[in-house]
């Protein structure tokens, strides 16, 4: 009987965690459709994740397995400045143009 008193709260805790885990929604972003305007006005909800994805995407094209966080921030700033004057351009095209 004492065993149930100890384990009861543990099972109750795990029982309440399952719905919380199930409630997490997946967010899918089609980066090819993001415009500069959406990027700089932060209408995309996961802009830092998009920045990291872009960095990895272009590093993969160069076969470069290194993550340079300072370069990631510099490039994100460069792309943001470029997008200020090219709001209708897609983000991928802006990255290509701004980081040449």
Judge: domain 25-98, CATH 1.10.890.10. yes
What does each C-alpha distance from 74 to 3, 77, 80, 88, 91 come to in angstroms?
A: 58, 5, 10, 22, 16
Would the pTM of this model clear 0.75, i.e. be above it? no
> How many CB atoms are closer than 10 A to CB 5?
8
Q: pLDDT tens, position by position, for the chain (100 residues)?
A: 555 455 455 444 445 444 555 556 677 889 999 999 999 998 877 788 899 999 999 999 999 999 899 999 999 999 999 999 999 999 999 999 998 8
Place of tokens 């500069």: 36
16/21 Cα distance (integer angstroms): 9
Is the four-CA dihedral 39, 45, 51, 54 of positive or negative sign?
Answer: negative
């Amino acid at each position: 009987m004492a065993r149930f008193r100890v384990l009861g709260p543990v099972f109750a805790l795990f029982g309440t965690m399952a719905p919380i885990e199930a409630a997490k929604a997946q967010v899918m972003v089609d980066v090819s459709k993001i415009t500069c305007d959406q990027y700089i006005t932060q209408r995309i909800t996961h802009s830092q994740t998009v920045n990291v994805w872009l960095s990895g995407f272009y590093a993969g094209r160069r076969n470069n397995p290194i993550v340079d966080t300072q370069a990631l921030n510099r490039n994100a700033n460069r792309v943001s400045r470029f997008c200020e004057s090219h709001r209708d351009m897609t983000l991928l095209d802006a990255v290509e143009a701004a980081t040449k």
